Amino acid sequence: MSIATTNMAPLIHKAAAAHYLTRDELELILNDDGCNDALFRAADKVRRQYVGDEVHLRGLIEFSNICRQNCCYCGLRRDNPHVRRYRLAEDTIVDFAAKAASYGYRTVVLQSGEDEYFTVERICSVVRRIKEFGLAITLSIGEKSFAEYQAYREAGADRYLLRIETTDRQLYEDLDPGMELANRVRCLDDLRTLGYEVGTGCLVGLPGQTMASLADDILYFRALDADMIGIGPFIPHPDTPLAAAKGGDVILSMKVMALIRLLLPYSNIPATTAMETLHPNGRILALQSGANVVMPNVTEGEYRQWYQLYPGKICVNDTPAHCRSCITGKIAAIGRPVATTHGFRQRNSSHNAI
């Protein structure tokens, strides 16, 4: 990326005040590293103004690393023979959720590969049982039909996380063999229609990705009016076709995240684990640059090591109790409180209008 040659201050001010930039304006900021500090300060200010200082914790339960898809960037891809596969029993998933509630979490995120063992009936049963603990439930289990999403919603699921990863159709379909961008978009539209809080996001630094396509990603999230947007650097996995790729970096990922905060001021934006995998203080830096959510892992035991989307994942040897204590301490150290509510997004369409 280039050193600043143009004053970006007016564009950053426009984004913070109007919550809109054109594709060309976004691309200018993404290409200019001279404006980073000003951009991060503006995002932090907008975050404080619109969603406050509270940090919302979501307890992550990684309940299966079996996946029918074959995404070129993912360590859990179907054709990776080196993964030690597992799936948790339904009772175990529910037990982990109960423990998450006892640690003070108000939301759990049930995440897996696209494991066809977990039928609609099994997922709905788990959701209904976990709702008895008074938790909000986010599902992150991939592409499904409208009827399946509807069944999960009726069982009590509140949110659904489905990262689009890139809105560049050619790039998406090159990196996700057998999948179509149009179907991913259809899934996200169905989730919105059904009344879920809709989460999505993208990888930053994919081979062949351009600043223009990242700008398009940001504008897509705004058009969708996404409730949660997760941004992380692409980290090459050695057992994938992209093993030799360069990978992304934390700073560009934070810039994308900060711009999303400016354009979607009410959205929930996590400080992602991948950022801390590449930078020892990555999640805190993200919280100081627009983020307001952290998703600590509440999966127990050796499963944490086996859910390897990318190499070097942090905290795989920690216990859920240690993770809860550690992240709470880090959040307190920057003067932010941990939220005690379920953390549903505040909606104000006048600020996120298209």
Sequence-ordered strand ranges (E) for the chain: 56-57, 59-64, 107-112, 136-140, 159-161, 197-204, 228-233, 293-294
Region of 192 (left: φ > 0; alpha: ψ -120 to 50; beta: rest) is alpha
Q: Which residues pair with 57 in a beta bridge?
A: 294
Distance CA 119, CA 110 (A): 14
Token digits for 274?
């991948």
Residue 255: phi, psi to the nearest 5?
Answer: -65, -45
Give the residue numbers of the binding site for S-adenosyl-L-methionine.
165, 184
| Separation CA 243–CA 72 (nearest Å) | 9
Residues belonging to the binding site are 67, 71, 74, 140, 165, 184
Count of residues making up the chain: 354
Distance (Å, rounded) from C-alpha 258 to C-alpha 202? 13
Which segments are annotated as binding site for (3R)-3-methyl-D-ornithine? Answer: 140
Measuring CA to CA, which residue among 208, 288, 221, 217 is closest to residue 248?
Answer: 208
Contact 327, 293 (CB under 8 A): no
42-to-13, 18, 37, 47, 216 alpha-carbon distances in Å: 8, 13, 9, 9, 21
In angstroms, rounded to a whole number, what is the distance separating the alpha carbons of residues 74 and 89? 24
Report the distance separating Cα 20 and Cα 222, nearest Å.
Answer: 9
Two structure tokens written together for 255: 């810039």
Tell me the helix, strand and coil percentages in the chain, rounded to 5.
45, 15, 45
Binding site for [4Fe-4S] cluster, by residue number, is 67, 71, 74
Instruction: Reduce the DSSP state of residue 64 to 3 states and report it.
Output: strand
